[in-house]
Amino acid sequence: MRSSAVYAAEAIRELAYTLVEKQCTLEDIQRLLRIYKPLNKKDVRVTAENKHDVVARNLRQAVDARLVPFERVLDLIRDSEENGAQHIFFYRPKNSAVAKLTRDGARVSTALWGEDWKAQKSFPRLLDEVPGEPDWCDFRLNDGAGWTAKIYGSGTRYENFGEEKVVGTDPVDGAPIYQRQYKRVQERTVLLVRWLNSGILEIRVPIWSSRKATEKMLATVWDSLSPAINALDFKPWLLTDCCTKMMRESANYQKVYCFSDSILRDSASGTATFSTMSEEETLFSVVERKQAIEAMLLPKKNCCERIAVTFLKQKQTDALSDDLRVIIAAHEQHEIVIGAKTTPAAVDYVVYRLREFS
């Protein structure tokens, strides 16, 4: 007779495959299978007619035969929902005591969920539907580099539905009254906290349709963290100096990044915005524009307030397999926006570059 624990484990696996098919790219799933194919060329199959078969047949069979660890399937889900299409807010601890307390992942997790949290919580908790209330769903230590914690929450989007319609007339002046219909769509959101032992706390929230929603999600994360981490013990890691340095030193980094937009601030707090006509172009491709920017940045007090930078694909390493556009010092000076979905390695690469220029 099968125990309830076995049924629960099977249910988790079913949900995991559903999520992989729904939110992971075919390329990512096949990349995982390719890693394990050399170990068993016959039983690990990579290609199939369609994505459903790659998941339902190839991946499932490989996991069932214990050729691919189930943990790697969970990693696929994590990678697909935790990286990119996000605002990332950066903070630094105000002193070394706070850094030491935050570095202690065991202390943080115990403060959040109690001593017995591993048995009680059974992280990672997978979820396909939209949760009623934001709730923690994952906590993991990152091989001595820090820790990551994740919350599933919910967000509302409004989508236009149908055409604008005349629904009556104004009784006073007889003018037609129009009505527009909207569809309210509830979606699951992924809110992430990552502590880097280099002394940086990241909070990632998805790109949403309003700034108010972004700020609400950020507040939700800080509030959820409060049993373990006090927001007042942290200060924003300001990226304005990083932007200025990246702009000033760009000639030495032509194979690393290029810009499409920048906002520069002069010594009297006035600003000048430089933008290419389309975002596919680069700011320094036109001589007179480059000279104007360089002239503007010549006085030491002037700075670069915000940049849209494209980090260029790095052929030598796996760090960045595609160009990645990032807005640095986006709405807040300690915020970046990564518009596209990307990989954990790519986000790490961006953070590495931010640290290099700070």
Partner 1 sequence: MLFIDFVSLADRYPDMGAVWIALAEWSKDHSQVSYIVPHLVARDLAKIVPEELNRAFDILVEEQSYAQVYRVLNPSTLTFLPGAWESLTDVPDRIPDRWNMLIDTADAQIIPVLVKNG
Binds partner 1 by CB under 8 A, chosen from 221, 264, 304, 330? 330
3-state secondary structure of 308: strand
Binds partner 1 by CB under 8 A, chosen from 25, 122, 181, 285? 285
Footprint of partner 1 on residues 254-273 (CB under 8 A)? 260-261, 273
Based on the shown chain and the rule CB under 8 A, indicate whether residue 213 belongs to the binding site for partner 1. no
Whole-angstrom CA distances from 100 to 4, 91, 93, 108, 228 are: 41, 15, 9, 11, 13
Q: CB under 8 A: which stretch of 225-233, 244-252, 275-283, 294-302 binds partner 1?
A: 275-283
Whole-angstrom CA distances from 292 to 255, 277, 287, 288, 347 are: 22, 16, 9, 6, 31
Binds partner 1 by CB under 8 A, chosen from 150, 194, 204, 306? 306
State how far the Cα of 118 lies from the Cα of 296, in Å rounded to an integer.
Answer: 55
Q: What's the alpha-carbon Rg for the chain, to the nearest Å?
A: 24
Residues 150-169 vs partner 1: string with x where CB under 8 A?
----------x---------
Binds partner 1 by CB under 8 A, chosen from 68, 98, 337, 350? 337
Binds partner 1 by CB under 8 A, chosen from 71, 277, 298, 316? 277
Q: Closer to partner 1 at the Cβ: 152 or 311?
A: 311
**Taking a C-beta distance cutoff of 8 angstroms, is the pair 179, 167 a contact?**
yes
CB of 134 to partner 1, least distance (A): 23
Q: CB under 8 A: which stretch of 74-82, 149-157, 194-202, 324-332 binds partner 1?
A: 324-332
State how far the Cα of 119 lies from the Cα of 90, in Å rounded to an integer.
Answer: 31
Q: Residue 291 corresponds to which amino acid?
A: Q
State how far the Cα of 105 lies from the Cα of 100, in Å rounded to an integer.
Answer: 10
Q: To the nearest 10°, report the CA torsion of 160, 161, 166, 172.
A: -50
Q: Closer to partner 1 at the Cβ: 108 or 338?
A: 338
Based on the shown chain and the rule CB under 8 A, indicate whether residue 276 belongs to the binding site for partner 1. yes
Q: Residue 219 corresponds to which amino acid?
A: A
Place of tokens 């769509």: 185
Based on the shown chain and the rule CB under 8 A, indicate whether residue 47 belongs to the binding site for partner 1. no
Q: What is the binding site for partner 1 (CB under 8 A)?
A: 160, 207, 209-210, 260-261, 273, 275-279, 281, 285-286, 306, 308, 327, 330-331, 337, 339
